[in-house]
A and B are shown apart, each in its own frame.
Chain A
Amino acid sequence: MDFTTITTAINSLLCRYLPEQGVVLAESILAAICLILAYVLFAIVMIFMERKVCAAFQCRLGPMRVGYWGLLQVFADVFKMLIKEIISIKRSDHVLYSLAPYIVIMSSVLTFSCLPFARGLHALDFNIGVFFLMAASSFGVLGILLAGWSSNNKFSMIGAMRSGGQMISYELSVGLCMLTMVVLSGTMQISAIVESQLDGWFIFKGHIPACIAFVIYLIAGNAETNRAPFDLPEAESELTAGYHTEYSGMHFGFFYVAEFMNVFIVAGIASTLFLGGWAPLYIPGFDAFNTAMGYIPGIVWMLGKTFFVIWLLMWIRWTFPRLRIDQVLVLEWQYLVPIGLVNLLIMTICVVMGWTF
């Protein structure tokens, strides 16, 4: 299914009634509403999935009481969060303190809008898509640093500094992995990256270097989202809650939702770059199979792959213990970055020599 028919229909409809600038404004607002609704919807699904998957890994059942199979648990949580008071801290930097959660959520929504959900169902798509995506995702750390700084709390500060050190370091590995896939695809436009995977996903086309990049991306992506085993910035046992210790109510909710949605975004980017985005499974030679796969709509493929990668990330999260800060940095600078660089070189050689499928 091609969503461009729907979007062009809406566009021509609006053009009939509004001047040109009005059309742009109306479309932007429409797209923003859709994006934020999708963002909240996926956040709810993610929180529920996190609870259930976490429970399964710990041999429990998870929430079972609120609604059938605990389905209404997340709504109860959100409602609780909404009715809580937003406390302002004495001697905190009030402006930055209230600004920080919005910066975090803004970066998260901006990155979310780069994800391609189906052909034509793609909010931000231009020729330096991957660059934009990295830029948008990396200014979330600014919000975290501000939150830690403006809270006037040593735990928040330590958490924020750890988060800064960790996220800026791991940004490098994420970037190298993305670069490896950009070398393979030859373009930075996200829609073009997905289009070129219609005849085979990059993880199969790029074989060994793509697999190594995928594993490094999963590790670095987990660190980017501040989740265990890289949850030092909010290590409960050491720093109460890290950078969001002083936040309450919906300000805390923004950090919480942004953190969950960053996992969704990391998984979405992984499925776009490595697992073909909305491109169906294609095996050369099996024509009947490929046509059958083609009938499954792209949005199902995209969400299926994304939630599979989320499940992988949760599996990692609920398996490994937390690393120490020096171990985190050693892992990044002594292992992931050199391996990522060598891997980039291998991928370049493969592409130049034509050793890809």
Chain B
Amino acid sequence: MKRNRKKTYVGTVFQAIHSLLTGLKVTMKEFFTPKVTEQYPENRSTLQISERHRAQLYMPTDEEGNNRCIACGLCQSACPNGTISITTTTVTDSETGKSRKVLAEYHYDLGSCTFCQLCVNACPKEAIKFNNKFENAVFDRSNLILKLNK
């Protein structure tokens, strides 16, 4: 059988009908599938946001409320637009007498965050993470500057 056999006139008609029907079948299936539209404010109670969605940086804490931050400042230096600023204090361990830096305040400016996740990737202790609480609208920009540690 030759590969580039020239199609007959009638052959092209039937081939065209077949290919058109294939397309019509696809759209017909689509017509009856459940629709993907999310009606947002009405469906808030049933809304499913992906776990991996990056909406806001937060600091996970254990049962006693302690975070895992070691105040190394890697997140602050990894941030491309200065969203994170860390203030530290030095405390002296009463047993060993060695002095050590601990986290005083962890400030995060949601307004300038690009959600690139470089800070989360830079953290050696997995002390910061993104959650999926996406309703972040506020009336004043100052409300966007969050203090993450308690």
Contacts and interface: CB of A to CB of B under 8 A. Distances in A.
Nearest to A321: B23
Interface string B27-69: 1101101011101000000000000000000000000000000
Interface stretch (A5-13, A57-65, A100-108): A57-65
Given A59-B36, A320-B23, A335 B28 contact: no
Interface stretch (A117-125, A291-299, A311-319): A311-319
A57 B30 CA distance: 6
A320 B20 contact: yes
A164 to B, nearest CB: 26
B35 A61 contact: yes
B28 A58 contact: no
A72 interface: no
A59 B34 CA distance: 7
Contact of B27 (A55, A64, A315): A315
A113 B71 CA distance: 81
B46 to A, nearest CB: 15
A36 interface: no
B36 A335 contact: no
B35 A315 contact: no
Contacts of A59: 30, 33, 35-36
B27 A318 contact: yes
Contacts, number: 34
A319 B37 contact: no
B13 to A, nearest CB: 7
A59 B26 CA distance: 12
Contacts of B102: none
B25 to A, nearest CB: 9
B37 A315 contact: no
Interface residues of B, number: 14
B12 to A, nearest CB: 8
B27 to A, nearest CB: 4
A45 interface: no
Given A59-B33, A320-B20, A320-B23, A315 B39 contact: no
Nearest to A65: B39
Contact of A315 (B13, B28, B33, B36): B28
Contact of B31 (A57, A61, A339): A57
B91 interface: no
B24 A319 contact: yes
A283 interface: no
A55 B37 CA distance: 10
A56 interface: yes
B37 A60 contact: yes
Identify the interface centre among B26, B28, B31, B39: most chain A CB within 10 Å of its CB: B31
B30 A315 contact: no
A56 B31 contact: yes
Contacts of A61: 35, 37, 39
Given A60-B36, A61-B37, A316 B31 contact: no
Contacts of A55: 35
Contact of B26 (A56, A316, A319): A319
Contacts of B28: 315
A58 B28 CA distance: 10
B35 A57 contact: no
A168 B21 CA distance: 27
Interface in B92-124: none
B31 to A, nearest CB: 5
Nearest to A318: B27
B35 A56 contact: yes
Nearest to A56: B31
A346 to B, nearest CB: 15
A319 B27 contact: yes
Interface of A: 55-61, 64, 315-316, 318-320, 335, 339
Given A59-B36, A60-B35, A318-B27, 4 more contacts: A57-B30, A59-B30, A316-B24, A320-B20
26 contacts: A55-B35, A56-B31, A56-B35, A57-B27, A57-B30, A57-B31, A58-B30, A59-B30, A59-B33, A59-B35, A59-B36, A60-B36, A60-B37, A61-B35, A61-B37, A64-B39, A315-B27, A315-B28, A315-B31, A316-B24, A319-B24, A319-B27, A320-B20, A320-B23, A335-B13, A339-B13
The 5 A-B residue pairs with the shortest CB-CB distance, nearest first, are A61-B37, A319-B27, A319-B23, A61-B35, A60-B37
